Chain A
Amino acid sequence: MARSGTDRSGEGAPRVRTPGEAERRGGFRRDLIANLWVIAALIAGMQFWSMVAPPYIMPPPATSLETTGTVLQEDWRHILYTITRLVVSVGFALVVGSLIGALMAMIRPIQPYLMSIVVIDTGIPALSWMLFSVFWFKDPETRVFFILAMILIPFYALNVYDGIRALSRDLVEMVETFRPTRIEVFRHLILPHVVPYILMTTKSIIGYATRMTAFAELVSVNTGMGARMGLAQNNLAMDGVIAWTILLVFLNLAVQGLVSLAEKSLLRWRPEVEVR
């Protein structure tokens, strides 16, 4: 995360680049160079391996790259399917999970019951949900959606619950002196207070959610990146498997980047903290 520059003056606006920041920029270049070296080494390793192994074990990197290009041209629709499923299910889990978390924190009597449901849910392996959904639902879209929702909802519920409980009594009391309705307290205090918790949750689960989407597609539908990857595997087309893997890595990086951007713009109000 490139949150840069501590603002010790407390003045905000025009920022002088601190030595720490310069160092971090240098750090970015160093990371980039390291990444490039690792990628180069991986390609070299694959190249070497492909010379001694049959193509269904390891095709030459050039072939995989070529396949990636072909896939992008011919199968791009499957990438869109995956992205749509990811966005819809994460969005749904975000809304429903946050609501469950809010209910847990705000309505005392139901808290232990909801908490128990959520805790049991976190204990159920993703694999079980995948199998359950195949038994329970005919419609393939419902299957993927159900799997992702069940896996992701508890993360939001627990974090939003913790977030609301961390709300300062002082702020609640301050807002209450204006005699607001419950809805106003929610809108002006609780909602803005939990936004950082929701973003943090999204940031930490989005990579996992992307991989789980592909996994859910593999077991329950015949469209999307996961399903196409499965098809390539059935055809012993290792170059196809590698191509989809490369695309999944890029998709993962892209969604992480988007969440970071959203975080930056939604949390402008936050002081930039640097811990030494």
Chain B
Amino acid sequence: MTAAGGAAMIVLDRVDKRFGDHYAVRDLSFAVAKGEIVAIVGRTGAGKSTALHMIMGVMPPSAGTVRVEGLDPYADFKALKGKLSVSFQTDRLLPWRTAWENVALGLQIMGRDAPTRRAEAIRWLENVKITGAENVAKYPHQLSGGMRQRVSLARALAVDPELVLLDESFSQLDHVTSKALRSDFTELVRRVKKTCVLITHRIDDALEMADRVIVLAAPARLALEVRVRPEDRADPAWLRDRHRRIAEAMGGEEAPAEEVADGLRH
């Protein structure tokens, strides 16, 4: 187990998750240190979301243990209130709430008073570059897809959680929007010193954003771990090599479909 320096925020120890006879996750162990940004990559159906659901505490593992800040996120569901938050592949905004009201949702559940909620929501929207009285008061259907995803990230960050979980939060956006949002997000998460686990199926995104990349092969078991130092990101040869090794670990001989698609898009 490699909880790189400092205390562990997340520990998965020999975790299985079965749906009927089917193993979605099998014998998965890894740890994430406080303040670390970890990317989980794997092909579709590899069990990435299932692993994340167990960390969120919305489903229990079939075997093994999951710990977040030393607590069982499923059994001690309420104890983790305000400590973790999630942003998903789709924005999942409440259509009857304006942008800032959506961001304020978590704060409202945390019991903050109305003026604080509003001020905090607007501050976090500014952090994800949504500004102006007119924009923050728009309803989701009046925002573009990229803006909606920004609102959903602001909603996750606004509760000031220790741990932010992202499940493919950038994958539905076009390349330019996704890139801008990714770099804004990592910059922000590093600045506020949060722990972050993000799922992606794009190897490039993982190498660009994370301190460490965990590769899962179906059914989710650890196939490879790659540590990324800031200087590595500037080294094309290193990136090419790791990219190839991750692709191999993800899917065996054939190149994963999304990499081919990515290649065509560039």
Do A and B assemble together? yes
Binding site for B on A (CB under 8 A): 7, 10-13, 170-171, 173-180, 184, 188-189, 192-193, 195, 268-271
Q: Which residues of A contact B84 (CB under 8 A)?
A: 177
- A177–B144 CB distance below 8 A: no
A171-B139 CB under 8 A given contacts A177-B58, A179-B80, A188-B109: no
Kindly state the separation between the CA atoms of A1 and B138 in the bound complex, as whole angstroms.
Answer: 24
Q: Which residues of A contact B97 (CB under 8 A)?
A: 269
Kindly state the separation between the CA atoms of A176 and B59 in the bound complex, as whole angstroms.
Answer: 12
- B95–A179 CB distance below 8 A: no
Indicate the size class of the contact surface on chain B. 20 to 34
Interface-facing stretch out of B85-93, B190-198, B199-207, B236-244: B85-93
Q: Which residues of B contact A178 (CB under 8 A)?
A: 81, 85, 105-106, 109-110, 159
- A174–B88 CB distance below 8 A: yes
CB distance from B140 to the nearest CB of A (A): 8
- The list of the 6 closest CB pairs from A to B, nearest first, reads A271-B141, A179-B81, A12-B142, A174-B92, A178-B109, A177-B86
Q: Which residues of B contact A171 (CB under 8 A)?
A: 92, 94
Give 20 CB contacts A-B under 8 Å: A12-B139, A170-B88, A170-B90, A170-B92, A171-B92, A173-B58, A174-B88, A176-B58, A177-B56, A177-B84, A177-B86, A178-B85, A178-B105, A178-B109, A179-B81, A184-B109, A192-B96, A269-B98, A270-B95, A271-B142
- Closest chain B residue to A196 by CB distance? B96
- Closest chain B residue to A271 by CB distance? B141
Is chain B's binding surface mostly helix, strand, loop or mixed?
loop
Kindly state the separation between the CA atoms of A270 and B141 in the bound complex, as whole angstroms.
Answer: 8
A189-B141 CB under 8 A given contacts A179-B77, A179-B109, A184-B109: no
Q: Which residues of B contact A271 (CB under 8 A)?
A: 139, 141-142
- A10–B143 CB distance below 8 A: yes
CB distance from A225 to the nearest CB of B (A): 37
CB distance from A33 to the nearest CB of B (A): 35
Interface status of B108 (Cβ within 8 A of chain A): yes
Kindly state the separation between the CA atoms of A193 and B94 in the bound complex, as whole angstroms.
Answer: 9
Q: Which residues of A contact B109 (CB under 8 A)?
A: 175, 178-180, 184, 188
- A269–B139 CB distance below 8 A: yes
- B105–A269 CB distance below 8 A: no
Q: Which residues of B contact A188 (CB under 8 A)?
A: 94, 105, 108-109
Q: Which residues of B contact A176 (CB under 8 A)?
A: 58
Interface status of B78 (Cβ within 8 A of chain A): yes
Q: Which residues of A contact B113 (CB under 8 A)?
A: none
Q: Which residues of A contact B81 (CB under 8 A)?
A: 178-179
A189-B94 CB under 8 A given contacts A178-B81, A271-B141: yes
CB distance from B162 to the nearest CB of A (A): 14
- A10–B78 CB distance below 8 A: no
Kindly state the separation between the CA atoms of A178 and B58 in the bound complex, as whole angstroms.
Answer: 11
- B77–A12 CB distance below 8 A: no
Q: Which residues of B contact A12 (CB under 8 A)?
A: 138-139, 142
Kindly state the separation between the CA atoms of A11 and B95 in the bound complex, as whole angstroms.
Answer: 15
Kindly state the separation between the CA atoms of A242 and B159 in the bound complex, as whole angstroms.
Answer: 64
A11-B142 CB under 8 A given contacts A170-B92, A175-B105, A188-B108: yes
Q: Which residues of A contact B159 (CB under 8 A)?
A: 178
Kindly state the separation between the CA atoms of A180 and B84 in the bound complex, as whole angstroms.
Answer: 13
A10-B106 CB under 8 A given contacts A174-B92, A177-B86, A189-B94: no
Q: Which residues of A contact B80 (CB under 8 A)?
A: 179
Q: Scoring B residues 138 to 157 as 1 if CB is less than 8 Å from chain A, else 0, what string do you get? A: 11011110000000000000
Q: Which residues of A contact B138 (CB under 8 A)?
A: 12
